[in-house]
Structure 1
Amino acid sequence: MSKNELEYKPLNGWRVYASEEHREGMNALADRYVRFLSSCKTEREVMHFVREQLELAGFSDDLSSDKCFRFSRGKTVFMARKGRRPLSEGFRLVGAHADAPRIDLKQRPLYEDLGLALAKTHYYGGIRKYQWLTVPLALHGVVAKKDGTLVEVRVGEEEDDPVMTITDLLPHLAYKQVEKKVSDAFEAESLNVVLAHEPELPEDEDKEFKVKPRLLRLLSERYGIAEADLMSAELQIVPAGPARYVGLDSSLIGSYAQDDRACVYSALEAFLALEDDPEYTQIVLFWDKEEIGSEGATGAKSLFFEYCMEELRDSWEPKARLSAIFQHGQAISADVHAGTDPNFMEVYEKLNAAYLGYGPCFSKFTGHRGKVGANDAHPEFIGRLRGVLDDAGVPWQMAELGKVDLGGGGTVAKFLAVYGMDVIDMGPPVLSMHSPFEITSKADIYSTVNAYSAFLKS
């Protein structure tokens, strides 16, 4: 080996993809990705988009087909492309999560106070509550009526739509608030969303003006719903407005929910662009509920993946044992990583940190403190993946989630590892993660698509 080969230096994606052809491809991908982020603000909207793309690509909702998919409750999806090798010899899987931190309306949300109609909320996932105050917010979701009718709600995204907001205390009266810890200064029960202000004018001028009755009439006229219907609703408060390019050079992408829709879009883009009849079966999975521990019927802890694999086995290789199929599988837990922020260097350890522009980041383990709750990938698998990406000319990096003992987090990796397959986390670095406006690099999104493509066809 030469001296240059002995010392490790990560590759910068902007340098690797410096040609005009790559830059055109990078910009075209970024445009498609920005449109996706702008239109898909909830898991259901993501799944609607995914279904459309799969059907356009000729995939079938029949797990005996060579190109197939299966959705569950409109929140999670399994898709597969049959390989030339038997399923029992293994598969290549990329799994991501489509949910994102947000603020949900409670089941009895509506109330009136001081001439305003407001909604009570319960936040979902790990948010920093103060970041959601005094910004334009949109309302997305569904209302399930008693007769089975599902009413879709989407307000705050069009130019002529009204938006909602959560108010904050003016600095002139906030002297006590600023002396508190952040966790105490912003209380979850105070995240009440402003919905309306104009009252229902009573015929008798002596009667008190009320705003809530007029709001209920508006909901009835627009959506055909009554207050009781909100008890069977799933309504989410998300940041209003489209994704945007960031920086005078438009080299960055700013949007809500890039954790983990950056990986969802990258995996889908890579999967659909690959040719049919690959060497190994290719599988892509998008789950719900990762931000709250992967619980529920649509989370990674559910048996949905197992049920789909069982049906694939019965159709493609009925004599194979599921245990053999799983243990020969190789998987990437596609999740974003914490990008190193120059404004907060004190929480990162420079040698083991992820940097924007250097491609997707491998995370050997997540968890917290002593690697508690981590998958901790095996070195043999990491070595193979290094070869796959290097042979494909894809820039990549490896990092931990900040300094030891300063925090931590978890992904779906450990829920795939229980089947005995090799799995590691890999995704692009993100700045301002879990905020209403997360930042990624165009070069990293392009590199991530190429990385997932190289793995799926390896």
Structure 2
Amino acid sequence: MNRENLWKNYTEDEKKRIFEFSEEYKAYLDSAKTEREFVTVTEEELKKNGFVNINEKTELKTGDKVYFNNRDKNLIAVIVGKDIKSGINMIVSHIDSPRLDLKPNPIKEEEEFALLNTHYYGGIKKYQWAATPLALHGVVFLADGKKVTLSIGEKDTDPVFSVPDILPHLSYKVQDDRNTREVIKGEELKLLFGNMPVNDENVKKQTKQLVLNKLKEEYGIEEDDFITAELEVVPAGKLRDVGIDQSMIGGYGQDDRICAYTSLRALYEVENPEKTVMVYLTDKEEIGSEGSTSLKTTLPELIVGKLLSMTEKNYNDQILRETLWNSKALSSDVTAAMNPVFKSVHDPENVARLSYGLAFAKYTGSRGKVSANDADAEFIQEIRQIFNKNDIKYQFGGFGKVDEGGGGTVAKFLAYYGIRTIDAGPALLSMHSLFEISSKADLYETYRAYKVFFEI
């Protein structure tokens, strides 16, 4: 239990390798700010690393590398081992992050401003989204079926968008007495989208008309097309180094794409595995894993059944159930790091710390361990032994003090199939904010840990 800050014992060569790894990570996340973008970028990387779409195969053999794309929201990548029935070693991460989504009819005009109506997605502190530069990402399907992909606000030449806040000079009555959750209310999360009216006295809403004209001219988008759109509002800008020592990384979407990235990097280096190994990137975790692209579906059965049907001559449903039951998984999600400013919410003997390595959470849930998986001691011991053998730096930590609060992961949905599962990922500061903080040391140790897990 005598863990310590990893930076104390790294050599200069190790630090150099960690910093190089971190630069690659930052660039990857900068190019993939939504779940759709992460799938698009990752599918190309999988192909470069020898993976083939499983739908192009009629049978599978040991060593084959395949992937499955579910509706551009999930990616499941697999390297086939010698006997799939003996179980799969899988690392499961989610690639959705808290954000603002546009409503189906988003554009309105108030006081000659064109505003975008939004509905927040996942657990956010709404006040953090005001008075800060925001970008618009997503897809729109036009009436003729054409798909338009948008990313506005990331280039230096792009405009950005922002939720206007009230100045402190005038906030005394309308805002200052609100509780924290309502400093900015949900219906006040409206983005400034334009302020220039068309010069046409016959048009009632002249500012709204001008932005509609620009959308039509530049992208072919009509107002009705928003009903067939998935447009997400995310922080504008890139991930940045944090601290004078550049030991940390700050930026949006690290929950949980830091786990997705490290699991993929680990997968690319797996060679000739005894067990079948899988990286499963899922969606909708931030809203309770609901929907056809979440983990709370029959997709795990579909993909494992597909693998078995392409390798087993006498495949049947019982083999599918036994394969899942024999499998092992890391529910690779981030956890809360000891916060030096708000220490009181943590149990100091049972909290993860930045730069202490991969963080295991035996249970992640709410009060009374409700909605938790609560990993069994036998599975934890198995991982502990192989991690110790390979000098993997890890720690154990909980979310906070008992009755302080809690959070959920996808672990319980994996456990539903009998898959032995434990939560494991880096610790973050400022989780679910627009600028989450991770440690470069933890990033690299998580990648090392996932490589070893695949070898179990």
Partner of 2:89: 92
SS in structure 2 at match of 1:404: coil
The one-letter code sitting in structure 2 at the alignment partner of 1:168 is D
Tell me which residue corresponds to 1:216.
212
Amino acid at match of 2:38: V
Residue matched to 2:148: 151
Quote the Cα distance in structure 1 between the aligned partners of 2:372 and 2:3. Answer: 25
Residue equivalent to 2:166? 169
Give a deviation string over 1:353-406, Cα, whole Å, max 9, x none.
010000111000111110000100000000111111111111100011100101
Aligned to 2:187: 189
Aligned counterparts of 1:454 and 1:272: Cα–Cα separation in 2: 13
Residues in 2 aligned to 1:314 and 1:377: alpha-carbon distance in whole angstroms? 30
2: CA distance, partners of 1:414 / 1:207? 55
> In structure 1, what is the equivalent of residue 71 of structure 2?
73
**Partners of 1:96 and 1:334 within 8 A in 2:** yes
Alignment of 1:280-299 (within 5 A): 280-299=275-294
* DSSP-derived class of the 1:27 partner: helix
Aligned length: 446
Alpha-carbon distance in structure 2 between the residues aligned to 1:267 and 1:207: 54
| Identical pairs, percent | 43
Task: Please report how far the alpha carbon of residue 207 of structure 1 lies from its aligned counterpart in structure 2 after TM superposition.
Answer: 7.7
Give the C-alpha shift of residue 209 in structure 1. 7.3
Cα deviation digits, residues 225-276 of structure 1 (max 9, x gap): 100001110001100011111111111000101000110111111111222x
Map of 1:49-448 to 2, 5 A cutoff? 49-62=41-54, 64-65=59-60, 66-84=64-82, 86-176=83-173, 177-202=175-200, 210-275=206-271, 277-319=272-314, 321-448=319-446
SS at match of 1:408: coil
Deviation at 1:155, TM superposition (A): 0.3
Give the letter for the 2:401 counterpart: K
Conservation of the 8 A alpha-carbon contact between 1:201 and 1:209: no
Gaps of 5+ in 2: none
Gaps of 5+ in 1: 1-7
Find the aligned partners of 1:57 and 1:439 in 2 and give their Cα distance.
29
The 3-state SS of whatever aligns with 1:253 is: strand
How far 1:147 moved relative to its partner?
A: 2.7
The structure-2 alpha-carbon separation of the partners of 1:207 and 1:375, relative to structure 1 and needing over 3 Å to count, comes to closer
Query: Contact 1:91–1:282 (CA<8 Å) still a contact in 2?
Result: yes
Distance 2:379 2:24 in 1: 32
Question: Which structure 1 residue ranges, 4+ long, deviate > 4 Å from structure 2?
Answer: 206-209
TM-score normalized by the length of structure 2: 0.96
1:12 aligns with 2:1: no
Please give the root-mean-square deviation of Cα atoms over the aligned residues, in Å. Answer: 1.3
Distance 1:395 1:114, change over 3 A: same
- The 1-side partners of 2:6 and 2:311 are apart by 39
Could you tell me how far apart the structure 2 residues matched to 1:342 and 1:191 are? 30
Separation of aligned partners in 2, 1:89 and 1:39: 37
CA–CA separation in structure 1 for the residues paired with 2:284 and 2:142: 24
Amino acid at match of 1:296: G
Give the whole-Å Cα distance in 1 for the aligned partners of 2:23 and 2:436: 17
In structure 2, do the counterparts of structure 1 residues 209 and 411 end up closer, same or farther at CA, with 3 Å as the change threshold? closer
Aligned-residue offset at 1:317: 2.4
- d(CA) in 1 for partners of 2:6, 2:147: 45
Query: Partners in 2 of 1:229 and 1:427 — Cα distance?
Result: 39
- Paired residues of 2:109 and 2:205 also in contact (CA < 8 A): no
1:314 offset after TM fit, Å? 0.8
Counterpart contact for 1:78–1:305, Cα < 8 Å: no
Determine helix, strand or coil for the equivalent of 1:332. strand
Work out whether residues 91 and 283 of structure 1, in 8 Å CA contact, stay in contact via their aligned partners in 2: yes
Question: What displacement does 1:175 show?
Answer: 1.5
Find the residue that maps to 1:166 and give its secondary structure. coil
Classify the secondary structure of the residue corresponding to 1:308: helix
Q: Is the 8 A contact 1:12 1:395 kept in 2?
A: no
Q: Deviations over 1:406-449 (max 9, x none)?
A: 11111000000011111000000000000000000000000000
